[in-house]
Amino acid sequence: MHVELSQSAKAIVDQQIASGDFDTPDDVVEQAIGFFAVHGPGSLVCIDPQTGEEISPITLAAIIQEGLDDESAGRIRPLDVADIKQRGRDRLAGRTRSQ
């Protein structure tokens, strides 16, 4: 069987393989189909962490694709924890004891 995936679905499959959870695209698809076989395709619920509201898997895929596009376009920079800590220390050092 040959299946064509959208670019956003391909990105999700690639992300799952890159995470190390799966070895091949076939593994990802088989796991998803197994999930749907047990739980039904309507059972997948995604919660928006900012609003707490339920969002559809299609909306989630679009959000993921937007992030991947941002990364490809260079609009995302790596998280620098040391820099964040230093900026916090600098802000605290600038406060007076009465604040």
**What are 19-57's pLDDT values in tens digits?**
998 999 999 999 888 887 877 766 667 777 788 888 877
Report the chain's mean pLDDT, rounded to a whole number.
85
Residue 10 has pLDDT above 80, yes or no: yes
Tokens representing 42 are 């309507």
Structure pTM? 0.42
DSSP SS3 for 23: coil
Domain coordinates in residue numbering, the chain: 7-93
Q: What is the pLDDT of residues 79-89, one digit of tens each?
A: 899 999 999 99
Length of the chain measured in residues: 99
Model confidence at 77, in pLDDT bands (50, 70, 90)? confident
DSSP E strand boundaries for the chain: 46-47, 54-55
